[in-house]
Structure 1
Amino acid sequence: MAPLTSAPVQPTAPAAGQPTVETLLEAALATADERRAARLRKEATVLSLDLADRLAHRYRGRGVEVDDLVQVARMALVKATLRYRPGVGHGFAPYATSTIVGELKRHFRDHGWVVRPPRRLQELRAEVVARGERLQQDLRHAPTVHEVAEAMELGCDQVREAVACSSGYRTDSLDAVTSWGTTLADQLAAEQDQFAALETSAALGSLIAELDERDRLILSLRFVEELTQSDIGERIGVSQMQVSRLLSSLLERLREGLLDERASA
């Protein structure tokens, strides 16, 4: 997930002859009539609603309903119109953007977690995500856990823990298919016959031994070295999409091989 940023968003320019947000807020500060000041601030808020809405929609799909984000952003806009002082800073749009993004960050921090991790992990996760994005630009490939850990002077386990806590934002279906071709339900611990597990492991080892050298390398890079599909593609000279198709085909062949072994047993 990309980090929340405060890059300013400009509100829609007013129609010809219509007062600007800055003009309205200056007039609100200048008048001693509280009713008139409130009306002017309301007009300034209405003129800036598109700014708040666009900022809210930047962060859709992160585990919080868009309607909730819009509500938070609009409430923050009201705060911005009350606190803004014309002539101070770089204008209303940057000030409002900073205020709105700050409120969105707090909302994500306080309400965006289905399972809330410790504050330490929340903050570390944000730092890991930001550093990972910068490294991806510098390295021209998705950084590995080791590369992120080295850049941040952290242990690999700390980085993995920070990344793992992202799953606390939302719940996932147990039937969701992972990048390995399995489902989340397949990864759940379950009591099983240890002898059956040994038989399955032995059968799987035999099936892998029958694969050609490149297929065995792909499996090793993915499941032993835990490289990303992009990194595997660079190692064997193919695209990430080709790696994805190769992995899916390999896993399906192994699965069918295991089923045939069990059927003939």
Structure 2
Amino acid sequence: MASTIANDSDAAPEIPRRRGDSYDDIEPRLATLVSMRHDDPARAALREEIVRRCLPLADHIARRFTGRGETYDDLRQIASLGLVLAVDRFDPGRGANFLAFAVPTIMGEVRRHFRDHTWAVRVPRRIKELKLTLGPAVEALSQRLERPPTAMEVAVELDADLTEVTQALLAANAYRTNSLESPVENSDSDTYTGSVTDTLGDDDPGYGLTEDALTVAPLLVELPDVERAVLRLRFFEGQSQSQIADHLGVSQMHISRTLTRILTGLRDRALGD
């Protein structure tokens, strides 16, 4: 079943009505605009007046899409372009209301901008469009199920292919990339020190662990079975010395001395080699 839940920004916004911004007589002006010849000097002036009078509508829609990684000025420019397209494409002869035509035209232009120009890497158009529906669907399912939904549940909710839903979920990571020059936050003091570049090239502690494992592995093989069992129970199964003692039927003090002797011997042999 397809989801019918929409994001607030994707729903048709309430038209802003302010003093001097009334759109009540826009249709007659648009009818006059359509009837005028394209080379008529008065036509350009009337077209500019109509666009200027409807700019608050473009501003209102642009503000609804802020907070998604694009500046308000850029969104306002895109919305204004959508408004111009709406003015040029509107046909008064069909008897339609201009605002009912302009709102989806402007919002479509803004959404197209997000779909085509704000991704860090190339993502198929179908996956981009599907991603826009994921947020509302996941939110609705989370409230209904009282837990985060699985990819399969999201696919059923959207009546979409599971593979495409999975790709859309992964595609969210491709929407924005961080600069290597972006500051790094100090988790201890909540301050920013240095950049990501400053942290590159450090020694990976994993290499040291690998070297230690390769050094100790043949030494462990040479240990008696009981001593290997003590090390396995203590360091791989996380048992306490008392638990190991109960398991082997000896005292806790005996296990303590055994561990000290084994570890000291391994360290001396590893460093010696």
Does 2:68 correspond to 1:52? no
What's 1:97 paired with? 103
Q: How many pairs does the alignment contain?
A: 197
2:27 maps to which residue? 22
Change beyond 3 A, Cα 1:88–1:153 = closer
CA distance, structure 2, for counterparts of residue 134 and residue 105 of structure 1: 22
Identity over aligned pairs, percent: 34
CA distance in 1, matches of 2:170, 2:21: 52
What is the aligned partner in structure 2 of residue 129 from structure 1? 135
For structure 2, list consecutive stretches of 5 or more residues without a partner in the other structure. 1-5, 188-195, 214-233, 241-266, 268-273
- Cα offset for 1:141? 5.7
8 Å CA contact retained: 2:58, 2:83: yes
Give the whole-Å Cα distance in 2 for the aligned partners of 1:174 and 1:144: 34
For residues 177 and 161 of structure 2, the distance between their equivalents in structure 1, rounded to whole angstroms, comes to 28
Deviations 1:80-113 (A, max 9, x none): 1111122536411121111111111221122111
Partner amino acid, structure 1, of 2:130:
L
Superimposed CA distance per residue, residues 195-215 of structure 1 (whole angstroms, 9 cap, x where no aligned partner): 779xxxx979849x9xxxxxx
What SS does structure 2 have at the residue aligned with 1:171? coil
- The one-letter code of the counterpart of 1:12 is R
| Aligned mate of 2:46, from 40, 49, 52 | 40
Change (3 A) 1:63 1:177: farther
Query: Deviation digits for residues 200-251 of structure 1, max 9, x if unmatched?
Result: xx979849x9xxxxxxxxxxxxxxxxxxxxxxxxxxxxxxxxxxxxxxxxxx
Q: Which amino acid counterpart does residue 81 of structure 2 have in structure 1?
A: M
Residues 171-186 of structure 1 correspond to what in structure 2 (within 5 A)? 171-172=177-178, 175=184
Q: Measure how far apart 1:77 and its partner are.
A: 0.5
* 1:66 paired to 2:82: no
The C-alpha deviation readout for 1:134-172, integer Å capped at 9, x for no partner, is: 4346546653434213434644x6534311211222224
**Aligned Cα RMSD in Å?**
4.2
Provide the rounded CA distance (Å) in 2 between the counterparts of 1:4 and 1:18. Answer: 22
State the distance in 2 between where 1:7 and 1:89 align: 20
Q: Structure 1 residues 130, 109: closer, same or farther in 2, change over 3 A?
A: same
Partner of 2:260: none
Q: Sort the Cα spacing of 1:134 and 1:82 in 2 relative to 1 into closer, same or farther, 3 A.
A: same
> Which structure 1 segments of 5+ residues have no match?
179-183, 210-264
